[in-house]
Amino acid sequence: MAAVRVCVCGDEGTGKSSLITSLVKDIFVTTKIQSVLPSISLPPTLGTPESVTTTIVDTSALPKERENLRKELRKCNVILLVYSDHYSYERVALFWLPYFRSLGVNVPVVLCASKADLSANTTTAQVVEEEMLPVMAEFKEIDSCIRTSAREHHNINEVFFLCQKAVTHPIAPIYDSKESNLKPAAVAALQRIFYLCDKDQDGLLNDAEIHDFQLKCFDKPLSDADLDIVKRSIQRWSGDKATAEKGIDAAGFLLLNKMFAEKGRHETIWIILRKFHYTDSLSLKDTFLHPKFDLPPYSSAELSPAGYRFFVDLFLLHDKDNDGGLNDAELATLFAPTPGFPSSWIDSDFPSCTVRNEAGYITLQGWLAQWSMTTFEEPKTTLEYLAYLGFEGPQRVGTTAALKVTKARKRRNRPARVERSVFLCYVIGAGGSGKSSLLSAFLNRPFSSTYHPTIKPRTAVNSVELQGGRQCYLIMEELGELEPAIIENQAKLDACDLLCYTYDSSDPDSFSHIVDLRNRFPHLDGLPAVYTALKADQDRAVQRTEVQPDEYTERLRMPKPLHVSVRWGSISEFFVHLAESATFPATAFPKAEEDAADRTSLYIALGAAAVCAAAALAVWKKSTSGHA
């Protein structure tokens, strides 16, 4: 917030102008001052809670000034409502607060009992108990109350500090004074902060974690003596004697913040919330969840080494039983500080789309593959969840440090390596050709002879080790009934690295689907492709097409279809071949003419022959002229 605008209201003669004058001159002015002072601005250096400029506007309660009062009330951020005697106090509830409501003004109100020096025989405790608490209970817009004296310069700076704090650190979003409890949104935010600070996930903040929290939020260390005071305070309020020995649990952390709110130190809670990127509405900042991250055309996003390391550490931290998989309870704990699984994970039927162990729990390999796929398809989703899960990159870079942008891919029919490690392969073919079984084999699932037609797209992602030990991630997507629509979508094809054409080698009508598809969509020639004859363990059938698959691919000057079966142990080699074809797409492109390299050799040979012929002709001419 750049500025705080305070509108000072109240009945005539309550001392509004004296409060302002006493603040500016730092002394009580005994001479007569004008009834309404001009507005003044206080720079941030005068002790404001944050770097804000504070504008103080004096007003009149006279009926002829009512229009100006109305305008100022609608422009202000906070109202300082002043009363000084029983009559003006009665007017607070009977006129002023209902009047603010009638204008539709929804800003915090600081209630000020001025001229305390005139009622010296009345204690502040009595004023609070008899005057302030009853009206606060009736009007929730009252943020705080204070008793002042301009003559004695008592609480003058404090009253305007409260006005500033009511705007920069509002109590209303975080604490319910009627219920004497933190509000649900504040509880949820603080529970997430506790989770992120509990680095070892043991449910307690130990001394080291508390010290780290203190440094992060307040930029100064917490002494051992102060830490003991905090622990004793929690112990006294909660009655849990073991707290000081074990550490601070989530309930104790919430209790500590409740104590801050009840003691008027809610700015401490806001400092904590804002260090963890919360807004005044207790939602995470949009710039934090969605930082700027642009992808050039034909480039893709991948996890950087820092990103992979973060997700590895996150997996290992939450695999409490060390069984190599995250069960439902462990996943629920891991995603506790987030809105839940990303919607794309739900759409892809997570975790069945990636690698799981025998118990059905996602493994570390599957976990990294899942995030690699999410980053490739939706980098902004990965950035959002990195923020939720507490990834901390360099201050100026933030969560984008966990991602990297690949070199732009250019599809050309020439030997070249695609500089990326995550590839998308569309698996295309007739219904019943074995696409679903192929995806299941990719995830090391046992073969099932039961046929279930694929309706909506199905995805499988896993890591593949290429020759030389280099690892990449392959996303295989079966398109289902959306196959024609996806093939027609140029943006979808631009994201694709490889087409895997499949047909059932035992079904004579299976290959015709590929032929028809390529005839209908000739632009598919612009993508590298691998032809695959599935169910090779069964008897091979002659396809009912004009050209058999082998001859069809030969006419395209492409490798013949690979004959594979998901029942063979060598099926893993097929996935390596797919990944290598995506890495070196020139090996999987249709070739409409002879290789340029072959023509070059021919040109060299023809050139050499021409040089030899010219030399022979020169020798012949020389010899004939000699005889002459």
> How does pLDDT run across 170-221, given as a tens digit for each residue?
888 999 877 889 999 999 999 999 999 999 999 999 999 999 999 999 999 8
d(CA 130, CA 86): 11
Query: What would the pLDDT profile of 410-429 be if each residue is shown by its tens digit?
Result: 765 566 788 899 999 999 99
Our CA dihedral for 112, 118, 119, 121, rounded to 10 degrees, sits at 140
Tokens of 208: 């080291």
- As beta bridge partners, residue 529 has 499
Residue 304 backbone phi and psi in degrees, to 5: -80, 170
Angstrom distance (rounded) from CA 232 to CA 235 = 5
Residue 592 has a pLDDT of 53
Evaluate if residue 124 carries a pLDDT over 80: yes
Residue 604 banded pLDDT, cuts 50, 70, 90 = very low
Q: Which tokens belong to 44?
A: 């941030």
Q: What is the token pair recorded at 182?
A: 């933190």
Q: DSSP label at 113?
A: E
What residues form DSSP beta bridges with 404? 302
DSSP state of 537: T
pLDDT at 412: 59
Split at pLDDT 50, 70, 90, the class of 386 is very high
Q: What is the pTM of this model?
A: 0.83
Q: What percent of the chain has pLDDT over 70?
A: 90
Q: What does the pLDDT look like over 426-464, one tens digit per residue?
A: 999 999 999 999 999 999 998 887 788 878 899 999 999
| Residue indicated by tokens 């759409």 | 347
Poorest-pLDDT segment among 225-239, 472-486, 534-548: 225-239
User: Quick check: 192 and 288 in contact, CB under 8 A?
Assistant: no
| Other beta carbons less than 10 A from residue 116's beta carbon | 20
Q: What size, in residues, is the chain?
A: 628
The structure tokens listed for 560 are: 């013949």
* Contact yes or no for 1/50 (Cβ under 8 A): yes
Q: What is the mean pLDDT of the chain?
A: 88
In what helix (H) or strand (E) does residue 297 lie, and over which residues does it extend?
none
Give 587's DSSP letter. G
C-alpha distance across the termini of the chain, in Å: 106
Confidence of residue 395 (pLDDT cuts 50, 70, 90): confident
495: left (phi over 0), alpha (psi -120 to 50) or beta: alpha
Q: Where are the alpha helices (DSSP H) in 116-223?
A: 124-127, 133-138, 156-168, 184-197, 207-218
**Res. 285: pLDDT tops 80:** yes
Structure tokens at 32: 């007569």
Q: Nearest Cα to 151, choosing from 181, 120, 183, 110?
A: 120
Q: For residue 380, what are its two tokens? A: 């902004």
